[in-house]
Amino acid sequence: MAFLFREPLEDPGAALRDLMRRRDIIVAPGVFNPAVALLVERMGFEAAYLSGAALTGSLAMPDLGIITLSELAAATSYITRVVRIPIIVDADTGFGEAINVMRTVRELEASGAAAIQIEDQVLPKKCGHLSGKMLVPAEEMVKKIIAAVEARRRETLIIARTDARGVEGFDAAVERAQMYVEAGADVIFPEALTSLEEFREFARRVRAPLLANMTEFGKTPYLTVDQFRDAGYKIVIFPVTTFRVAMGAVREALDILRREGTQKPLLDRMMTRQEFYELIGYYEYEKRDSQVASRAESLVRSRRP
């Protein structure tokens, strides 16, 4: 159905919490615009992840935390008004200190976020799978989590990500995660673990719902959803997969167009006009417009002498 005629989720966080109770694991592909989010929903996924890396990449910006809160809130709103699946939103470091995090939670909650993820890096932050990251003191991150929990007005989940594995070591990541749970985080996200054994050990030592990041070209080996499930993880995200595949496909299409001067070799790789119209509910707009026009015409005729 066209998004203009769908009701958004009344409480996205409650919907995600219910999904977590009913599913042994949730697969949340990364999205970076409403059309991709709608396709994720249409393909049967029950949640999606608004990736900071993919969103900033789509804006031709690096993943260094230089996107603004207003830009992220707008992107969240554009996506959540289109789909009826919960959206997990990557809020980087929360856009400031604890009091700023409170504003962040309010804005993203108002934009329809089901869960808000905050990480313990300093600004400028880096992709979690790059070297050279720096962490804020654990106390500062704990303050942010407490502030985030206090600021929410619905059942929005607060996801605490720790990047400590690549900076202070595995044991430090576990210790930070345990503190974040005590501070009130609903889900813990250990970034850039380096083996299935580490994922298993982390789950054994941290008693909370856990989120795993299965990104490409990073420090984590390519593990399957089943492996993450068996290791004790509740959510697995594929944050930049759709963006990277899309960019690769566009690059290939442009190369063919430049060399051959026609798009004909690309036709069988495209989503057709008909398929896209069905995805966005195009014909429903036409139907509704026709119905409104018919009612207007009838009203005007009834007033004529």
**What pLDDT is stored for residue 275 in this prediction?**
96
- Separation CA 122–CA 47 (nearest Å): 28
User: pTM of the full predicted structure?
Assistant: 0.95
**What residue segments make up the domains of the chain, in order of their start?**
3-239, 271-305
Pairing outcome for strands 87-90 and 115-119: parallel
**What pLDDT is stored for residue 52 in this prediction?**
96
Asked if pLDDT for residue 289 goes beyond 90, the answer is no
What is each CA distance from 149 to 44, 113, 144, 201, in whole angstroms? 31, 14, 9, 27
Tens of pLDDT along 150-199?
Answer: 999 999 999 999 999 999 999 999 999 999 999 999 999 999 999 999 99
Residue 198 CB neighbour total at 10 angstroms: 18
Q: What CATH number does domain 3-239 carry, 1.10.1200.120, 3.20.20.70, 3.20.20.60, 3.40.50.80?
A: 3.20.20.60
Residue 162, SS3 per DSSP? strand
**What pLDDT is stored for residue 197 in this prediction?**
98
Give the closest residue to 195 by CA, choosing from 234, 218, 221. Answer: 221
- Separation CA 229–CA 249 (nearest Å): 31
- Separation CA 302–CA 292 (nearest Å): 15
